[in-house]
Chain A
Amino acid sequence: MSLALFIEQLLNGLQFGVMLFLMAAGLTLIFGVMGLINLAHGSLFMVGAFACASVAAATGSFWLGLAASLAAAAAAGAVIEILVIRRLYDRDHLDQVLATFALILIFSEGTRWVFGSFPLYLDIPALLSGAVHLPGGAQYPVYRLAVIGVGILVAVGLYLLIGRTRLGMRIRAGESDREMIGALGVDIRTLYTLVFALGAALAGLAGAMVGALQSVQVGMGEPVLILAFVVIVIGGIGSIKGALVGSILVGVTDTLGRFLLPAAFGLVMEPSAAAGVGAALASMLIYVVMALILAVRPQGLFSAHA
């Protein structure tokens, strides 16, 4: 195994992790601040991708599509918060799971109704297409580097927003004692709608960026949602820092596992059996990591409520 291959795989893991972070950050914010389990977060990811694909197809510009994805996902988030989610804050988690699961079905069938069942076309903008040479001889797609860049920017932005602004102060206060900040005169309903729309916009951004790499189709959000839940459980529920560390841990573990495990089994078995066994083990690797972390730290790595 060459160094170039290893560097490329590390970058792949980082890029995958950063994409997961965009999903997990919104999910953990919503869970941390509002105590709400939002299964429909994957649908907002899908809304972002479809908005981007359809606007890009209509205007020919990926960048307008990207802006549309943010706007559409944030709007969809605000609307479902006001219509549905607002009624769920005082209910127990089972009711929240049921209601947001219903939202997944509504979003999926609604999208199928509007766009049909065939995947949409969405391509990478010309500015970011192609690959660049990295030090060490490896080549890497520019677009994936850009995704990593956007992820880092969002992480820094969220850190500043939560740590340095008045809004962030209220979000933190809402996390630790929501009744008290209501009593202090903060409009908690608007704050919740705002946080929900912010989380939704991040999911929509992830959907649009990933949609250009993968296929834009109904149901694309659910596999990512499961991984995002793994991330916030590992990172500690409600913690942005935990979401970042958890995402990168999951991204790198999954990528390196998929590549190193079959190779490791290849040393002792014939190639085709090793490929099968390695692939099977690699697909459960992140869940093994999650189980180990929870065994040592049941509240996750950086729980906001520890």
Chain B
Amino acid sequence: MKTILSAGLLGLSVAFAGTAVAEPVKIGMITTLSGGGAGLGIDARDGFMLAIEQAGNDEIEVVIEDDARKPELAVQIADKMVQSDKVDLMTGIIWSNLAMAVVPSVTAQDIIYLSVNAGPSALAGAGCSPNYFNVAYQNDNFHEAMGKAANEEFKKTFIMAPNYPAGQDSLTGFKRFYEGDLAGEVYTKLGQTDYAAEIAQIRASGADSVFIFLPGGMGIAFTKQYAQSGVDLPLLGPAFSFSQDVLPAIGDAALGVKNTASWAPDLDNEANKAFVAAFQEAYDRLPSVYAAQAYDTANLILSAAGKASVEDKEAFRAALKEADFESVRGNFRFNTNNHPIQDFYVREVVKVDGTLTNSIVGTAFTDHEDAYASECNM
């Protein structure tokens, strides 16, 4: 009798500890865990798994694989996850060229894909799908925010991005809201590590500021070389160029740089305070915007899984679309094309207790939606 009672109590406490889930859910996560872009994928994985572990639910299984930033590898892994792992949902891709290779074929097989980072314009407009939810942003957004913020101070900006889908979206986004002139527009190779030639062009261009979209190692290399070059124009960028994953490696060369994002470690809301503290506790470092987006993605999945069975795709999609979770970004809802409507902030790189981090200094957009939603028919 005593054993039965304690077993019952144990069962009750387990049921209350975890979020209730209607059916077991198997999630396939493809992300970049090795090579030049590994820092981004590791942050995304850690943020995602933090939310899953906090939920404490055994019914949710996550399969994680490394794409090494190679599109062909990502496609192979996706096939394997759909065909032999039989995943219900997929997520995790950081880079837009990989997302373009994987997402359309996965969503066509009626698997729901939730993006933690990449948001290529082609998938936000005419190529949108009811099975594709972008929990991060549409690629143009961070850059649009910087374009708008730059209007206050600058008249002639030199802009630069790598030559791949997100790079083109980046400069398009910046130009959509920037009203000044461009001193130059340069596309570099994805993964390029030496920027001497570009810095020479910046020096000769007569610009009053420089906007760079260079995520991961590219941003580290550029910012260090720029600091040594004797060019002292203000640097601007989306958060990707000056995110928490690269700041320690850039060092003080990044101090004072303005960048834009939908999130910062000091964004003032309860969910975010809890997230930043838990992330530091679990991994002993500050989270980046990639970790924050992935954490939100996992919580969105958990919220939908509590409402609907993943077997019933129609109901599960409807539950996802409600976005009924506490986002670390505060305001969050989905637009008609399943991309977020959210706020964007201007951040500045500061040093707090000897650690470089980003602090919010202004708001660029409130309830901002992407430019492609009207082209999406679904």
Contact = CB atoms under 8 A, between A and B. Distances in A.
B230 A213 contact: no
Contact of A259 (B33, B34, B197): B197
Contacts of A124: 224, 228
Interface in A142-163: 142-144
Interface in A1-22: 1-2, 4-5, 8-9, 12-13, 15-16
Contacts of B39: 117-119, 217
Contacts of B250: 121
Contact of B251 (A4, A13, A121, A256): A121
A215 interface: yes
A272 interface: yes
Contacts of A219: 34-36, 38
Given A119-B217, A214-B217, A255-B196, A279 B188 contact: yes
A12 B182 CA distance: 24
Interface stretch (B9-17, B48-56, B84-92, B241-249): B241-249
Interface residues of B, number: 41
A1 B27 CA distance: 54
B175 to A, nearest CB: 8
B149 to A, nearest CB: 21
A275 B42 contact: no
A16 B246 CA distance: 24
Given A4-B204, A213-B194, A272 B185 contact: yes
A131 interface: yes
Interface string B232-269: 00000000000001101111000000000000000000
A11 B310 CA distance: 60
B221 interface: yes
A271 B204 contact: no
Nearest to B68: A219
Contact of A214 (B168, B194, B231, B246): B194
Nearest to A263: B201
Interface in B156-171: 163, 168, 171
B108 interface: no
A283 B190 CA distance: 10
9 closest Cβ contacts across the A-B interface? A131-B230, A215-B220, A12-B196, A119-B249, A279-B187, A214-B221, A215-B217, A117-B38, A139-B230
Interface of A: 1-2, 4-5, 8-9, 12-13, 15-16, 108, 112, 117-121, 123-124, 129-131, 138-144, 210, 212-220, 223, 255-256, 258-259, 262, 271-272, 275-276, 278-280, 283
